[in-house]
Chain A
Amino acid sequence: MKDKSIGDTLLTALAYFVALVMFFPILWMLLTAFKTEQNAFTIDPHFLFVPTLDSFRVALEQGSGYLHYALNSVVSAVVSTLVGLLLAIPAAYAMAFFPTKRTDFTLVWMVSTKFIPAVGVLIPIYLVYKQLGLLDNLAGLTLLFTAMNMPLLVWMVYSYFKDIPKDLVEAADIDGASTLQTMRKVILPLALPGIASAGLLALILAWNESFWSLTMTDHRAATLAVYIASFKSAEGLFWAKMSAASVLTVAPIIVLGWFAQRQMVRGLTFGAVK
């Protein structure tokens, strides 16, 4: 733009300002993570200080158990996403390439289960899990994450499959390929970027999930959400440590999230906004 008016410059400045305000709590957490506990808990906040890695060391040391919770988070997020994809891909494949009269209904029904509030199914699941010994059990939690993300995965993979010409499936069919072969050799390679982004979104949502972790796990299967929540009674004693643990938990997801922005819009709105 050649003739930039003052208004234009002001609007740009406003955009920067708002972006900084929105980001500030995260920045403040990041700064606090590099402080000593004394520096973190002061009446007049310290903006300039000598950064230290002490809090990260404390957060990661053996006794804190951080790694135990981190491992649970990684396992539940990754396995729930893989199991989800394993179930969602065949379903999406069937619906995208071999639609029947009931396909639209099935798809919409699957999407609609996403809108059942978790509290609506919490009590029976808790009681049944208790009976089956699945409380505070990583497999039990992982399957809940799978159920939570399944509608999204089916929908996203379906919408990527729909972009692939049906002729390809028919051609493979005529060449005598089995369903599994067609799926593996023809369709999956083409839809791989889409499947990867669906998986990425499911991974982020599972990692950040807190309702099921807080209600269904205690220690053994507890994830980082439960660990971080345990700081809720810390009242100023461990702000630096809390921030360090939070940064370690949040940073990877923020980075992944930046990559997933566009797919996120497509996935979370169930294709209503592209």
Chain B
Amino acid sequence: MSSPAVATSLPDKRAKPKARLSGAPIRRLLAPAVIFLLVWMIVPLVMTLYYAFRRYNLMMPEITGFAGITNFKLMFTDPTFWDSLINTLILVGASLMITVTVGLGLAILFNRTFVGRGVARTLAIAPFFVMPVVTGLIWKNMLFHPVYGLLAWVFRHLGLNPIDWLAQYPMLSIIIMVSWEWIPFALLILLTGLQSLPEDQIEAVRLDGANKWQEFRHIVVPHLGQVLYVVVMLESIFFLTSFAEIYTTTSGGPGTATTNLPYYIYQSAFFQYDIGISSAAAIGAVILANIFSIFLIRFVAGNLNAGSRR
């Protein structure tokens, strides 16, 4: 598992069953799912690539034809695109740092045995199951509102000036909301990782007189490394595509302060009707997501192999 194999060159180490069933009947079982995914995911992806090189604006249907790299040129000279790219990276980076550190802290906190642990953990992970649209509206109105929001009330009581969160710190507000939703995810997965720690090894280093820090450094960190890797990769892909939290709160604003790549694509397709440019940006988003998913997929494929060796 330490050196995951490349997905496409997996050797088949499984013993083949001596079943009669092979060839056509098997393909018939597999085909519906494969065809469905081809039609709904791969064909559209290829079409997006095609549109990215076409002149295609819904408002000007008479202009068509091959556009070469014009769409990409226009996109790269559009300051909003660069803003959205930078915003995407800030949103992903900051949310990652917050969710992973807080999630890890909470996982360690909840890995101890104490009365009512189940209830406390259950309450802590609840935000993950809240619909993102609801998250956006609850935070925007009842918590972030500069006058009637709960945070404004808290600030006033602390003798501070209430903050108009979404106007003054729009990106930070989005990061707070996204982190609130995803800390539970990091917590849950890291906690699962902690609970599968090699107990015998910990016991052994304790007998050798290792202190808590050494135990953490030499046993917990290496074991958790893999789990952290998976959390970071998965969250990156999900954070890259954040949409509902922005849609319901800032609509990408003020200005372009919270316009991320998905929102930029949404706007250029649905408000500027420019299929060409939005497709070019969509290809950009796919490439960005691929940077993370290639590593993740290799990891999954490596696990697959390790599993079959058992």
**Chain A contacts to B: CB under 8 angstroms:** 1, 8, 11-12, 14-16, 18-20, 22-23, 25-26, 28-29, 32, 41-45, 87-88, 90-91, 93-95, 97-101, 103-113, 115-128, 143-144, 146-147, 150-151, 154, 162, 166, 169-170, 173, 179, 204, 207-208, 210-211, 214-215, 224-225, 228-229, 231-232, 234-236, 239, 242-243, 246, 249-250, 253-254, 256-258, 261-262, 264-265, 268-274
Report the minimal beta-carbon distance from A21 to chain B, rounded to whole angstroms.
9
Does B150 lie at the interface of the complex (its beta carbon under 8 Å from any beta carbon of A)? yes
Evaluate whether A123 and B269 lie within 8 angstroms (CB atoms) in the complex, with A97-B17, A97-B19, A246-B137 already known. yes
Does B303 lie at the interface of the complex (its beta carbon under 8 Å from any beta carbon of A)? yes
| Surface stretch bound by A, among B31-39, B59-67, B167-175 | B31-39
User: Within the assembled complex, what's the spacing in Å between the Cα atoms of A11 and B293?
Assistant: 37
A120 neighbours in B (Cβ, 8 Å): 44-45, 48, 282-283, 285-286, 289
User: Within the assembled complex, what's the spacing in Å between the Cα atoms of A242 and B129?
Assistant: 18
A104 partner, pick from B112, B148, B247, B301, beta carbons under 8 A: B301
Whether A239 pairs with B237 at a CB distance below 8 angstroms is no
Q: Looking across the interface, which residue of chain B has its beta carbon closest to that of A12? A: B114
Whether B143 pairs with A25 at a CB distance below 8 angstroms is yes
Whether B45 pairs with A116 at a CB distance below 8 angstroms is yes
Whether A22 pairs with B180 at a CB distance below 8 angstroms is yes
Considering the complex, which residues of chain B in the window 99-157 have a beta carbon less than 8 Å from any beta carbon of chain A? Answer: 106, 109-110, 112-117, 119-143, 145, 147-148, 150, 153
Evaluate whether A18 and B131 lie within 8 angstroms (CB atoms) in the complex, with A25-B180, A120-B282 already known. no
Q: Looking across the interface, which residue of chain B has its beta carbon closest to that of A256? A: B129
Q: Looking across the interface, which residue of chain A has its beta carbon closest to that of B305? A: A104
Whether B20 pairs with A173 at a CB distance below 8 angstroms is yes
Whether A239 pairs with B282 at a CB distance below 8 angstroms is no
B122 partner, pick from A29, A239, A258, beta carbons under 8 A: A258
User: Within the assembled complex, what's the spacing in Å between the Cα atoms of A109 and B38?
Assistant: 11
| Surface stretch bound by A, among B73-81, B90-98, B187-195, B199-207 | B187-195
Does B158 lie at the interface of the complex (its beta carbon under 8 Å from any beta carbon of A)? no
Q: Looking across the interface, which residue of chain B has its beta carbon closest to that of A236? A: B148
Considering the complex, which residues of chain B in the window 270-302 have a beta carbon less than 8 Å from any beta carbon of chain A? Answer: 270, 275, 278-279, 282-283, 285-286, 289-290, 292-293, 296-297, 299-301
Does B178 lie at the interface of the complex (its beta carbon under 8 Å from any beta carbon of A)? no
Main secondary structure of the interface of B (DSSP, over half): helix
Whether A250 pairs with B131 at a CB distance below 8 angstroms is yes
Evaluate whether A22 and B123 lie within 8 angstroms (CB atoms) in the complex, with A91-B30, A106-B30, A119-B262 already known. yes
User: Within the assembled complex, what's the spacing in Å between the Cα atoms of A93 and B27?
Assistant: 11
Can you list 6 A-B contacts (CB < 8 A)?
A: A11-B112, A32-B142, A122-B282, A147-B36, A265-B188, A273-B192
Does B7 lie at the interface of the complex (its beta carbon under 8 Å from any beta carbon of A)? yes
Considering the complex, which residues of chain B in the window 25-61 have a beta carbon less than 8 Å from any beta carbon of chain A? Answer: 25-27, 29-30, 32-34, 36-37, 40-45, 47-48, 51
Whether A100 pairs with B26 at a CB distance below 8 angstroms is yes
B131 neighbours in A (Cβ, 8 Å): 207-208, 210, 224-225, 228, 246, 249-250, 253
Whether B30 pairs with A119 at a CB distance below 8 angstroms is no
B133 partner, pick from A23, A103, A117, A229, beta carbons under 8 A: A229
A119 neighbours in B (Cβ, 8 Å): 241, 243, 261-262, 265-266, 282, 285
B40 partner, pick from A22, A147, A204, A256, beta carbons under 8 A: A147
A26 neighbours in B (Cβ, 8 Å): 126-127, 130
Q: Looking across the interface, which residue of chain A has its beta carbon closest to that of B114? A: A12
Since A117-B240, A225-B244, A257-B128 are in contact, a sample of 8 more A-B pairs with Cβ atoms closer than 8 Å, ordered by chain A residue number, is A90-B29, A95-B30, A119-B285, A124-B43, A208-B130, A208-B132, A210-B247, A258-B122
